[in-house]
Chain A
Amino acid sequence: MTHTKYPLSNTCTARRRKCFKSQIAVVAVLLAIAVLVVPAPMSLAAPQERHIRIEASRFQYTPSVIHVNPGDKVTLDLTSNDVVHGLYVDDYALNITADPGQTTRLTFVADKAGTFALRCSAPCGPIHPFMVGRLNVGSNGLLWRAIGIASVVAFAGLWWFRK
């Protein structure tokens, strides 16, 4: 059996296919819009004060992931277990360092929602550039929306683009 390409032709079947294609396109676009605009689940908790102790060692933070709610007043107590380490909060652009046996305190209001990296800002050895932790403020809206849209386009893409 020979295998040949089956190009789109101008038959009635083709027109029906085109109609089907545009239906799929409409559904997909609506789904994508829905994913984009559906508001993130509102955090019902009132902003609270959080006091978190972070221990830095070579080459991680303990705890490595911190969850807070948007609007929380967050106090981080950074201390080190071995050498001088630092803590830089992405996007908030806050920076502190701590020596072993000493605690450095950072207080801020988590007004930006999302997921932010905590990076070590005092060179502490070879893996220093990869010493990271995570700060989750609220739910990660971008991640869920991206996953939603990916799920839509992965399959919609099969139908959409024609040569």
Chain B
Amino acid sequence: MKQEWLARLILAVLCVAAIAAPLTFQAIQTNRANAPTIELRARLPDAEHGGWSTDVIKVVAGQPIHLRLTSDDVMHGFAVGQTDWPALDIKPGEVAETDLTFDRPGRYTFYCTRWCGPNHWRMRGVIEVRNPSGVNGDASQPTSEPPLYQKLGLDIDAMPQLAPQAEQSLSQLQGLPSAERGAASHVELPSELRDRDWLRTHTPAEAFTLLRKNVAYNDLTDAQVWDVVAFAWRASASPDVLARGAQLYARDCAACHGETGRGDGPAGRDLPGLQTMLPDAKRGPGDLTDARRMFALTDAHLQGKLLRGGMGTGMPEFGSLYTTDEQWTVIAFVRGFALEGKRWGQRASP
């Protein structure tokens, strides 16, 4: 009889342990960190759910927080916009941990950095960082400068046309311009084309017109002038900047806009695109290799699109994700599609 009770005890202990031990161990693990721990579960976002288990995280400035990130299905990533913390990959079924400390109060956006389907861009949340003094200050970003397109009063929904001279020369152009040829021609650039601010506020077509008006460049053919224009844009960004732009483009844009910028990326196939503004336009993301369109837009205009997103076109807003530097970086890279048909900043690849 004693044996029977011993057997029952062993059985009970084993079965209870099978349930209690893992749960207890987990409770210990999650409370081990000294900082407040926040668990974020990532899952595939759809039209109703953003994808993060928590959309709003409230922290105190200066206080470190411990993040435990896991994915319930596919590969996701985590990054906080407007900061320079590196992105963290979140592998399915595994836990990624990191400690973050926000120095300045404000409103930060965290977002997914590994493309996880057509709703990947919805996968964003907000981290509200408040002052340690406890005063519930305005949780918005400290007042920053208005973006360039606003200062210039640009209507970024407009579809500017090319000047006739530029238009005509483009139609006679064989292929796309080449920044390499422009560099090889050793033509000296006029002062405007060496001025980053000028380049950002004028279109490539305007640059072409400027060069054509300048008698110093009279012996160049139209094609060669376009090459110089391409060269000017490429030279305005260092190779490091272009490489970073290539990375950002690959991570955040290529899935819709395509690896070659043609707007043929797998995630963009069903988006309304320009059709919202022009019923006759093709569906899908804009074709960044389309010279007629791209040469009529300034960098500031492109920045506006990037910051604000498209109204119903499917283009997400990147204003809360990218710092101003990152915005110019990606735009500098994107210019390469139309100005050379190449991905500037990358080695020759598929």
Q: Which residues of A contact B (CB under 8 A)?
A: 55, 77, 79-84, 99-103, 105, 122-126
Contact (Cβ within 8 A) A82 B114: no
Contact (Cβ within 8 A) A103 B259: yes
30 A-B residue pairs with Cβ-Cβ distance under 8 Å, sorted by A, are A77-B350, A81-B266, A82-B117, A82-B266, A83-B44, A83-B74, A83-B115, A83-B116, A83-B117, A84-B114, A84-B115, A99-B114, A100-B265, A101-B115, A101-B250, A101-B253, A101-B255, A101-B256, A101-B259, A101-B265, A102-B254, A102-B259, A103-B350, A105-B349, A122-B75, A123-B75, A123-B91, A123-B92, A123-B93, A124-B75
Contact (Cβ within 8 A) B74 A99: no
Please report the C-alpha to C-alpha distance between residue A106 and residue B115 in the assembled complex, in whole angstroms. Answer: 21
Distance from A89 Cβ to chain B, minimum over Cβ atoms (Å): 19
Closest A residue to B265 using CB positions: A101
Q: Find A100's partner among B91, B92, B255, B349 (CB 8 Å cutoff).
A: B255
With a CB–CB cut-off of 8 A, which chain B residues contact A101? 115, 250, 253-259, 265-267
With a CB–CB cut-off of 8 A, which chain A residues contact B115? 80, 83-84, 99-101
Contact (Cβ within 8 A) A100 B75: no
7 closest A-B pairs by beta carbon, nearest first, are A101-B254, A101-B255, A84-B75, A123-B92, A81-B266, A83-B74, A100-B255
Contact (Cβ within 8 A) A105 B74: no
B73 within 8 A of A: yes
Q: Which residues of B contact A (CB under 8 A)?
A: 44, 73-75, 91-93, 114-118, 250-251, 253-259, 265-267, 349-350
With a CB–CB cut-off of 8 A, which chain B residues contact A122? 74-75
Most buried by B among A79, A100, A123, A126: A100
With a CB–CB cut-off of 8 A, which chain A residues contact B118? 82
Distance from A5 Cβ to chain B, minimum over Cβ atoms (Å): 51
Please report the C-alpha to C-alpha distance between residue A81 and residue B255 in the assembled complex, in whole angstroms. Answer: 8
Please report the C-alpha to C-alpha distance between residue A96 and residue B177 in the assembled complex, in whole angstroms. Answer: 35
Given A83-B116, A83-B117, do A103 and B349 touch, yes or no (CB 8 Å)?
A: yes
